[in-house]
Structure 1
Amino acid sequence: MGDQEGPVLEFPGRKVLEQLGAAEAAALRPLFESVVFLQHELGAAHAVEDRVRAVREAAQWRAEEERYAHPYHAAGAVLSAANSYADAVEAALWSHASAYAVLGTRLQERLVEGRGPLSTATVAELSAEPTLSVLEAALRVPVDELLAGRPEDERERARQLQERLLSGVDVAYEALADDMLDKPLNRAAAAEARLAAAAQPGFDPPWIHLLRPLLSYANGLPFAIGRFLACRS
């Protein structure tokens, strides 16, 4: 399990990736590029929200005093659109990052165990947004298994990240069972849910406490996989 917090590390080069199966290498980079793009796009979307919100707040005092409050209402309309766009980008980011985390984990696991490449069908299945139970199973893979032979301080950081991830999974289960939802899900139904589709308007997304640590984990996967392949070559 990778433990990278902060910026995305460099993706392994072509020579290193040649050690992977063709389907594995073909899927890994596009998912990685999607996650990187969506992270940047979400940051840009939040910047637009902040800017337009400031414009609306500046226009609010005039709206209270003047008969025509066009600037305030114009900014409000744009802010509503900006909020919807940011929500859509975040949902897409969740979908791609969760798929990348599962694919990367299962790939790292099979490398450590010395098994052959994942099949094309398996790679295709792992490249789609996982159900909550599939994601949870991937995040529960023991750190000492994935980071066998690595220094203890590195493994300890990975264990701490794993605890944050699994805590976020628990929050997601709780969010999907909220009685305030139109269609709350019991544990079994939530386990089979894909969070991008299960999120409901007017409520915090079920990944609210999971996305940030998941991105930390996903951002470190290229380094973890590339390091293992480089050491093996």
Structure 2
Amino acid sequence: MATQDKPHHLGHRERLKKRFIDAGSDALADYEILELLLMQFVPRRDVKPAAKFLIQKAGSLAKVMDLPQQTIALAPGLGDKTAFVFEVLKAFNKQAKRQAVVKKASFLNRLDLLEYLYDKMTPLKHEEFHVVYLNSKNHVLAEEMLFRGTIDSSVVYPREVIKTALEKGARSLVLVHNHPSGDPTPSQDDFHLTTEIQKLAAPMGILIEDHIIIGDGIHYSFSDQGKL
């Protein structure tokens, strides 16, 4: 009785795994790295077409996780179950980055903070106002969303910002919000809000380190622009 040949993609999987183990990710193309991930959830199908489909839709490997769940489900051979796994991975990645930022010793180098903020706030279709609370040694105490909606003085209550800072024992704050339009240029409301919070913070000995507005791949820093 003749032995039936294994499907060609099974041999491809084994070779791909071996290349990754022997030489690391630098030896693989972007779609091959995505293939390796998809193999863990799609055990009996050639996932190369799905990997190439997702990268083509996203524009790059780095942006695959930003794809909507519905788009991922449309990739050849994937479907809703695999798309849901991507949503879980996305949530895991976001939460892990958040915890890494909160546990950093300080924000003397703000690259980690900015990367975290871009990942968290760029995809939002609505405005959110967040505060990063720091102690006297510039160590992170917490990062929280305080308000959601159109960010102006009628929605964000400066007294609530300072009250929360005092409750946490914060000595300085980084204010953050996003502009869903993608343009981080501050509005008059943004300037007014920053000034109002500063006025309340100063008598309490609380410093406003910065107010960062996140746009689409670009941000505005009140501190960098000399507006604080």
TM-score, structure 1 as length reference: 0.26
TM-score, structure 2 as length reference: 0.27
Whose relative contact order is higher, 1 or 2, with alpha carbons under 8 Å and at least 6 apart? 1
